[in-house]
């Protein structure tokens, strides 16, 4: 017989039922935990709904604190949105490349956000960085890979949608773009805010090394997420972690050009140019997500045609 969830770590085991849930926006939702933490992500568990749908349950900040063996501080966690705040932001969004929220539960002060299950058929959590490394290992250079460009186009499409909705995700990076069945899905809206809410907050949200200059100052704009995606793509394409150089004692950062970091990428100058432009310090000179979507889509079409021609030549030769 299952028991209702409590903030006790010992009780957070397969078979525990999340409930009695609140009736919030999308109705009553119950889910039973069926697996352990996924992808080393603190407080994220595989579960099965009453409709036998596989989902992911993201546990609330209080329980995340209890689960944290490293003693993550309450002060750090307090900067995150509550699960209900995240739920309200996330459920207001609907896009094929944004993970779907399917429910929210709360009991005895413990909250949980329930999203669609994005694990692969093999039970893996595959993020964009891992996907890219595996493609590269199979002998597929990313700068000529149609599948890579398709995924990036999908992410840009989602960011363009967020822009139109007046929302900043605030923490775009490799682990927050999951890949399942050839489709990219943006996850984790715990730091997402409306453009008009984040202006002048003087509080930095996001992940160090991915933060835009304006974000470091506590501001955000429609192109803030474009900057973070540019850093993400630089890291993926060049396999380097540092997308900038900085002289000792100076606060000024200099963008490391893609083709300087990895000369072979100069074979596709349009790719180098757009990834460099996305990391422009001045947000007004940065391309919009919609403009990036167009560039990456054109690159996907270009290499799809190249692949088709190569296949045709091979068939003739045969």
| pTM (predicted TM-score) | 0.78
CATH superfamily of 128-314: Transferase(Phosphotransferase) domain 1 (1.10.510.10)
So what's the pLDDT on residue 163? 94
**CA torsion angle 237 240 241 247 (round to 10):** -120
Strand, helix or coil at 102? strand
Residues in the chain where the model's pLDDT stays below 50: 1-31, 35-42, 61-81, 312-318
What pLDDT, in 10s, does the model give residues 243-295?
666 555 555 667 788 888 899 999 999 999 999 999 999 999 999 999 999 99
Taking a C-beta distance cutoff of 8 angstroms, is the pair 153, 159 a contact? no
Strand, helix or coil at 197? helix
What pairs with residue 184 in β-bridges? 179
Taking CA 165 as the corner, what is the angle to CA 174 and CA 225, rounded to the nearest 5 degrees? 30
Query: Quick one: which H or E segment has residue 229?
Result: helix 224-238
So what's the pLDDT on residue 242? 75
So what's the pLDDT on residue 172? 96
So what's the pLDDT on residue 23? 30
So what's the pLDDT on residue 105? 65
Q: In Å, how far from its chain's centre is CA 252? A: 27
Q: CA distances (Å), 316 to each of 218, 305, 307, 312, 313, in order?
A: 59, 17, 14, 6, 5
Domain boundaries, the chain: 9-116, 128-314
Residue 105 main-chain phi, psi, to 5 deg: -130, 150
d(CA 233, CA 278): 10
Given the candidates 3.60.9.10, 3.40.50.720, 3.30.70.20, 3.30.200.20, the CATH classification of the domain at 9-116 is 3.30.200.20
d(CA 117, CA 53): 8
So what's the pLDDT on residue 66? 40
């Amino acid at each position: 017989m299952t028991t209702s969830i409590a903030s006790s770590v010992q009780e957070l085991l397969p078979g525990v039922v999340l409930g009695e849930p609140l009736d919030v926006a999308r109705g009553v939702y119950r889910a039973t935990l069926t697996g352990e933490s996924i992808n080393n992500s603190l407080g994220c568990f595989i579960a099965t709904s009453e409709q036998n749908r596989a989902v992911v349950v993201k546990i609330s900040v209080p329980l995340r604190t209890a689960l944290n063996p490293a003693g993550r501080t309450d002060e750090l966690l307090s900067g995150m949105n509550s699960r209900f705040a995240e739920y309200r932001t996330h459920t207001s969004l609907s896009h094929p490349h944004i993970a779907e929220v399917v429910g929210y539960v709360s009991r005895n002060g413990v909250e949980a956000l329930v999203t669609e299950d994005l694990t692969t058929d093999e039970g893996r959590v595959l993020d964009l960085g891992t996907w890219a490394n595996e493609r590269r290992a199979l002998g597929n250079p990313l700068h000529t890979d149609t599948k890579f460009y398709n995924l990036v186009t999908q992410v840009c499409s989602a960011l363009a949608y967020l822009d139109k909705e007046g929302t900043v995700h605030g923490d775009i990076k490799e682990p927050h773009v999951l890949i399942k069945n050839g489709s990219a899905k943006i996850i984790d809206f715990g730091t997402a805010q409306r453009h008009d809410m984040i202006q002048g907050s003087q509080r930095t949200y996001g992940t160090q090394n991915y933060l835009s200059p304006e974000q470091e100052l506590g501001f955000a704009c429609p192109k803030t997420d474009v900057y973070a995606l540019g850093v993400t793509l630089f890291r993926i394409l060049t396999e380097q972690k540092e997308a900038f150089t900085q002289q000792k004692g100076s606060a000024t950062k200099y963008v490391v050009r893609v083709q300087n970091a990895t000369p072979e990428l100069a074979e596709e100058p349009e790719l180098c140019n757009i990834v460099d432009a996305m990391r422009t310090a001045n947000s007004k000179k940065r391309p919009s997500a919609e403009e990036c979507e167009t560039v990456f889509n054109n690159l996907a079409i270009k290499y799809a045609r190249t692949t088709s021609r190569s296949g045709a030549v091979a068939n003739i030769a045969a």
